[in-house]
Amino acid sequence: MITALNIDERTAGGLRAAFSLFRRNKICVEHFYCDRAAVKSLTYLHRRGKISWSFIDRYAHPQRANLLTPPDLELPAHLGFRRFSSLELSRRLCENAAVYLVCELSALCPRVALIDNSAEYTGLCAYLLRYTDSVTAVSADPVPYLEEADRHLAECGAPLTVMKSAENLLSADLIIAPHRIDQPLCCSHNAVILSSCPPAVAPDAPVYYDYTFDLPEKLSAIKPPFLDDRYFASALYTLGGVYELGSSVFTHCGDGRILHTRKSLIGQLRSRIEHR
């Protein structure tokens, strides 16, 4: 069960304000279901005094440490209330975007670099090598990738280069970093970099991490109105087991400043490849 919370501040003037002082705060509870997804939506009607978090906890517990809330709602962490946050779906969308771009430009054989210091994304190499024969894996833990390279070479003759450092990625057209970029990257200024969140250390090229996609209509129907689509989808995927969202491909992708469509991002990567 996913639990969402909103605080509805009820303000009134004149005589209505005087009467509201005698009204108790209350909670409206709604339940929504779609396939395996179950959502409990709580709206706390706040009319007077302090917010009663103990009252809210009657309805929010045991999901109070993973509540879906509007971004401006402050939760009392000292009471165990925390806002849900996860990059799990964003990392999957990063993978999907990478495979989509490489597939669309397979005739140009893009040079791809995958940065994965924890060696979690070895399986992604198999998809990339379907569309290009130039894939480099950069990992502080290279052994799993060396084993992956041996396997691909033996099974289908596909070469996979393995490196321990991202100090020289100047030849890479597309750089994939599912986790936050927290180290300097030596890359070309016109490379396309995909990640799941803003970089801690900004490289010379833009980092695209803000993925938008179409939420299926059946899931939009169970979304509380105070939540946005992407945040709700992230919770459905991470907490609700709606794994079908993991196959989504972006409709728009941004770096916090520039917003690309699929077509425009393909065009940018194509231009880089054709003029390298």
How confident is the model over 92-120, as pLDDT tens digits?
A: 999 999 999 999 999 999 999 999 999 99
- Average per-residue pLDDT for the chain: 92
Asked if residue 21 has pLDDT above 50, the reply is no
Ramachandran class of 263: left when φ > 0, alpha when ψ lies in -120 to 50, beta otherwise:
alpha
| Res. 79 pLDDT band, cuts 50 70 90 | very high
Distance CA 186, CA 18 (A): 65
How much is the pLDDT for 24? 63
Which range among 3-7, 74-78, 184-188, 262-266 shows the weakest confidence by mean pLDDT?
A: 184-188
Distance CA 113, CA 137 (A): 6
Is residue 227 within 8 A of residue 4, CB to CB? The reply is yes
Instruction: Give the tens place of pLDDT for each residue, 152-175.
Output: 888 888 899 999 988 789 999 999
47-68 average pLDDT score: 91
Task: Give me the percent of the chain exceeding a pLDDT of 70.
Answer: 94
| Residue range 88-213+248-274 in CATH 3.40.50 | yes
| Res. 11 pLDDT band, cuts 50 70 90 | low
Asked if residue 121 has pLDDT above 90, the reply is yes
Is residue 250 within 8 A of residue 212, CB to CB? The reply is yes
How far separated are the first and last CA of the chain, in Å rounded?
A: 51
Distance CA 51, CA 118 (A): 43
Burial class (CB in 10 A: 0-12, 13-18, 19+), 121: buried
Instruction: Give the tens place of pLDDT for each residue, 204-239.
Output: 999 999 999 999 999 999 999 999 999 999 999 999
How much is the pLDDT for 206? 95
Comparing 171 with 47, the larger pLDDT belongs to 171
Query: Which residues have a Cβ under 8 Å from the Cβ of 62 and sit 6 or more positions away?
Result: none
The domain locations on the chain are: 2-79, 88-213+248-274
Asked if residue 265 has pLDDT above 50, the reply is yes
The model carries a pTM of 0.91
Asked if residue 196 has pLDDT above 80, the reply is yes
Distance CA 215, CA 185 (A): 34
Q: Is the peptide bond before 62 cis (omega within 30 degrees of 0)?
A: yes
124-146 average pLDDT score: 96
